[in-house]
Structure 1
Amino acid sequence: MRVRLAATALVAAALLLAGCSAGGASGTTPSAEASPVAGGDATIVISGRTWAHLDVAVPAVTPIKGLINAIYDSLLRLTPEGDIEPWLAKSYKASDDRLSWTFTLQPDVTFTDGTPFNSEAVKFNLLRQIDPNQHAGEGGNLPRDIQVETPDDLTVVIKLSEPDESLPSALATTAVGLMASPTAVQKWGGEYGLHPVGTGPFMLDSQIVGQEAKLVKNPDYWVKGEPYLDAVTYRTLGSADSALQTLKAGGADMMDYVGPQQANAAKGDASLTLQESPATSVHYIIFNTTKPPFDDVRARQAVGYAIDQEALSKGLYYGYYTPTQSMMASGSWAWPGKTVKGYPAFDLDKAKKLVKDIGGLSFSLKVSNTTDFLQQMTAVQSQLAKAGIDMQIDTVEPSQKIADIFSRNYEAGQFVVPGLPDPDNYVRPFFDSTAGANPSGLQDDELDALFKQGRTTAGQDARKDIYAQVAERMAEVVPAVYLSEVPPMRLQNQRLHGVVYLPIDPFYLNTAWVSGK
């Protein structure tokens, strides 16, 4: 495997990660129109996302989840309908007291370096995720005090000190469920992220870190007959517009992370299909509540009152992104509704009064240096100025922005965290003071208690009621203000078929194939 390092991609990044039904916005997708054929290559282009490594258990969990999921398989995985199904674990069940989860593994599975996939490999991966010296970016989705038992090669038992109803979702949709070769991890040590080894349908052939990765077919993939493609190339481009133009010109088969501007520009193009799912993600501004000016809740409220989400939706998002008052978007089972009691929704007079009361408000906002995000934050800057709020835009590389936010080297930051089926996996880690990450620095006993209830209470209906209370408490303490909810959108050409799109950012390529190769 050949590796070259891109200088701009060596900055550590961290991204925590997002039920609804996925489907093409323009009707039946090409994947349903013919039978799969083997062979051929596919190219996927993205923008605004880079990676410094491809390790799933370090602080900088790569935001390129489609790439990661092509290399690594997970114990469980998500279906297009938003359900959780067994995968590397062929079955699983919880004990009556919900304190023990037993997983029966698929037999005869190997990592692409020849290492057997067995219960000891699972134990190695799970304990690596919770190792405090590892600082795994998504390790907070596993309780730190879990015990992992391996009664035989194909059986894993996870024991908990208290119920954790989000565990199956975490193992299906976050990095903690992705399995890396223990042999490769031990061989490469701190450089493992440049030499990733999983059990997935593809394996890394070469990369320019943060710019391009070429994957080749895993000839010994445990799902017989898959994958169909011989190779897949991921390429990141400087702007979303350039990614769209590359797709239109035939230089790529799919554009990942499509924004509303590109979705609108692709309207009427019969050669492209827009894949859009109900929103599970939210675009928001997160505050560092540990230092001025946002250690004062009135400053946080003032920003919320000054933001006109409806104007942003109509003027910038072409209606693809819509207003929200909760971190749980409308595609989530935990969605509390369009309005949330106490949320500081747009009210310019209230914003002005608060600014006056606190003696003025000026702050710096860290923003990814991509065209779309800069345009959006410039619009927000103009809205805030009407309330007398001075927001300076600090543009940084996406990975640097994430690293700064997670180290609390910021005042406010622009963020889109991919939504997951379970709020415990993508809301709690950011705002629970007992969580390992908590980049907001928020310390709120009431919210912490609600998060714990949401995690330990059985039954989705009961949990939904708890997360409605979470939404209301967050509206009161305002560790973040929202700009819009964000549906996952991708564009693909008529040559690509069989991609499994999900109601969250990742997708599966094991059944993807190309025609006319």
Structure 2
Amino acid sequence: MHIKNLAFTTLACVAALAAAPASARGITVAVGSSFTTLDPYNASDLLSRTVAKSFYEGLYAFDKDLKPRPQLATGYEVSKDGLTYTFHLLPGVKFHDGSDFNAEAVKLNFERVLNPANHLSRYRLFNFIDRIEPVDDLTVRFHLKRPVAGIIQRLANGTGVMICPSTLKTMDGRGIAFNPCGTGPYKMKEYNPSERLVAVKNPDYHVKGLPKLDSITWLPVAENATRSAMLRTGEADFIHPMPVEQVKDLEKDPNLTISIVPSIMMRYLSINNIQKPFDDVRVRQAVSYAIDREALCKVAFSGFARPATGVLPPQIPGAAIFGEPKYNPQKARELLKEAGYPNGFTTKLWSGYNNSTSGKVIQFIQQQLAQVGIKTETRTLEAGQRVSLVEANKVPSESPNRLYYIGWSNSTVDSDWGMRPVFDSRSWPPKLSNEGYYANKRVDELFDLAQSEVDEQKRNEYYREAQMLIWNEVAVAFLVYEDNTAAYNKHLVNFHALPDTGYEFYEAEWKE
């Protein structure tokens, strides 16, 4: 057996080293969208999974640099053939209901997501697992169907958390979505998806000295100006995203700290590949040529974004750099004429977000497309509308979206999960996030070949070919890599905005 990460150093040791004085108090976090579910196994949006970290822990978690660290595991061993992972579990951990965390709880949680009948959106993140075997209370063995690169990153991304077995046994999917019960540092006090989520300190948390906050109140606030005003008045202690157009003003406030992190968030325009006229690659190319990415970065993001240069952000291992998509409205008009639309056409342009920045994005894209003859009717969707109209659609031919502004943050920081959920033909809604219904059998084949390939160089060759096909076929119109911007009260420390646009707040505290 090859031994990996068998350090047995627990987070309790880390917490014990922190001796800085802090004031016990709660904080308020204002975010740009409402929450879809508190069930991480069924949350397609990163915000919901991030907020759920208040209540849940997994075997591994990402630190502020997106490096996996042990959380409920202390280490693991992997067999020479890469098909068996044996995890050692942290002792003395209890769920919020007082029951023990053990190997059987791990088995129950993963068997739930691995059961296709449960129709959980994160099924394909873990469907390479064949079975889970409890060896003893503190040892659990994962048997895989095939070797998979990046399994620890998948376990660390905030999906594979431990939900109370009592909750799994007594509640259906809706009950789990509204009633979090885990091993985490906070417990739920109040929850209304569109208004607020209040998480309060878990007094029985298994890490001594944590959490350092009495509570976290999460508030969905779509309007940029309102979030900014709340921070200035003290109604909010942390805001995200920070209104980029107000960065210079906020930087002048001595009571605030500004955080700008180059993110791995890809913003793109999903294009419905199976609906006319977008089933013609020339029309998709025309859409892409019609958009000036440099101007988009300035107009909508105040310069806090960079034009996309490939299918994956450059920070992802295996990312291929193709260069910024060209802005050429004349070429766009020529392609539309070749495709049979010399006078253009009218279609729908939606945003999967209803915050102010996204409103600027689709207004800008609407104006750009109009210049080449594509007239659009715009609409911004709230989280619930996004789910019902786009993400939960079960009949591809009846999908109402045509051009759809959305983003994908690679929560595992690897090439596979950076592309498979968005471009694999087996990832059409409601399974995953291929909301443009792109399909290429060779791309699917390359994903499968790469995922099972143990040689890194060969694996990256498969991924590069897949990226080239996706890029050349304009599966989507790639737009920008957005900087992750946040602002917070100077007294709030260790509440980090991450490159994947999530947050790490495990040791967050308030220092006077």
Same fold (TM over 0.5): yes
1:343-385 CA-partner distances (Å, limit 9, x unpaired):
x532222211111112224321221333221111111111111
1:184 alignment counterpart:
167
Partner of 1:159: 143
User: Deviation string for 1:257-284 (max 9, x for gaps)?
Assistant: 3353344552333322222222211111
Q: 2:385 aligns with which of 400, 409, 412?
A: 400
Residue 425 (str. 1) matches residue 406 (str. 2): no
Q: Given the two structures, how large is their TM-score scaled by the length of structure 1?
A: 0.87
SS in 1 for 2:446: helix
Shift of 1:38: 5.3
Equivalent residues in 2 for 1:271-420, closer than 5 Å: 271-337=255-321, 339=323, 345-360=326-341, 361-367=345-351, 368-406=353-391, 407=393, 408-420=399-411
The answer to whether the 8 A contact 2:134-2:140 is kept is yes
Shift in CA distance, 62/465, structure 1 to aligned 2, threshold 3 Å: closer
Q: Which 5+ residue runs of structure 1 have no aligned equivalent?
A: 1-32
Letter in 2 for 1:467: Y
Which position in structure 2 is the counterpart of 1:46? 31
Q: CA deviation at 1:459?
A: 5.3
Q: Which amino acid aligns with 2:354?
A: N
**Which structure 2 residues correspond to residues 175-254 of structure 1 after superposition, within 5 A?**
175=159, 177-189=160-172, 190-254=174-238
Residues 285 and 483, structure 1, Cα contact 8 Å, conserved in 2: yes
Matching residue of 1:488: 484
- Residue of 446, 449, 453 corresponding to 1:457: 453
**Residues 251, 34 of structure 1: CA spacing in aligned structure 2 closer, same or farther, 3 A cutoff?**
farther
Offset of residue 229 of structure 1: 0.8
For structure 1, which segment, 441-450 or 330-339, has the greater mean C-alpha deviation from structure 2 after superposition?
Answer: 330-339
Q: Distance in 2 between matches of 1:36 and 1:467?
A: 48
Which residue of the partner structure matches residue 67 of structure 1?
51
Residue of structure 2 in register with 1:503 after alignment: 499
Number of the residue aligned with 2:74 = 90
Q: Is 1:513 equivalent to 2:498 in the alignment?
A: no
The verdict on how the C-alpha distance between 1:145 and 1:92 changes in structure 2, with shifts beyond 3 A counting, is: closer
Structure 2, gaps ≥5 residues long: 1-17, 394-398
Contact 2:281-2:474 within 8 A present in 1 as well: yes
**Tell me, what secondary structure is at the counterpart of 1:466?**
helix
CA distance in 1: counterparts of 2:466 and 2:53, whole angstroms: 31
State the Cα deviation string for residues 19-40 of structure 1 (Å, max 9, x = none).
Answer: xxxxxxxxxxxxxx99242511
Inter-partner Cα distance in structure 2 for 1:265 and 1:337: 35
AA at the equivalent of 1:486: E
Q: Which digits, 9 at most, give the CA deviation of each residue in 1:284-312, with x for residues without a partner? A: 11122222222222221111111110111
Distance 1:275 1:36, change over 3 A: farther
Q: Which AA in structure 2 matches 1:504?
A: D
TM-aligned CA deviation for residue 74 of structure 1: 1.6
- Secondary structure of 1:280's counterpart equals strand
Check 1:319–1:60 CA distance in 2 against 1; reply closer, same or farther (3 A cut). Answer: closer
Partners of 1:62 and 1:135 in 2: CA distance: 19
Question: Residue type of the partner of 1:42?
Answer: I
What whole-Å deviation, never above 9, does each CA across 1:301-334 have from its counterpart, x for those lacking one?
1111111101111233222101013231133233
Task: Determine the structure 1 residue equivalent to 2:12.
Answer: none
TM-score scaled by length of structure 2: 0.88
Quick one: percent identity of the two aligned structures? 27
Residue 247 of structure 1: CA displacement?
A: 0.5
Cα contact 1:71–1:200 (8 A) shared by 2: yes
Flag the 1:411–1:106 CA change in 2: closer, same or farther, 3 A: same
- In structure 2, distance between residues paired with 1:36 and 1:423: 42
SS at match of 2:171: helix
Amino acid at match of 2:166: T
* Gap change, CA 1:69 and 1:472, over 3 Å in 2: same
Instruction: After superposition, give the CA deviation of every residue in 1:63-82 in whole Å (9 maximum; x if it has no partner).
Output: 33332111111211112233
Amino acid of the residue matched to residue 210 of structure 2? E
- 1:35 corresponds in structure 2 to 20
The CA distance in 2 between the partners of 1:446 and 1:193, in whole Å, is 37
Residue type matched to 1:348 in 2? P
Distance verdict in 2 for CA 1:294–1:380, change over 3 Å = same
Instruction: Give 1:191 deviation, angstroms.
Output: 1.6
What amino acid is the match of 1:411? Answer: R
Name the structure 2 match of 1:104.
88
| Aligned-partner Cα distance in 1 for 2:153–2:116 | 22
Amino acid in the other structure paired with 2:452: T
Query: How many residues in Structure 1 have an aligned counterpart in Structure 2?
Result: 480
Secondary structure of the 2:188 match is: strand
- Paired position in structure 2 for 1:147: 131
Instruction: Determine helix, strand or coil for the equivalent of 1:63.
Output: helix
| 1:476 alignment counterpart | 472
Amino acid at match of 2:499: P
Contact 1:94–1:102 (CA<8 Å) still a contact in 2?
yes
**Which secondary structure does the structure 2 equivalent of 1:70 belong to?**
coil
* Change beyond 3 A, Cα 1:459–1:174: farther
Q: Where in structure 1 do 4 or more consecutive aligned residues deviate above 6 Å?
A: none
CA positional deviation for 1:418: 2.2
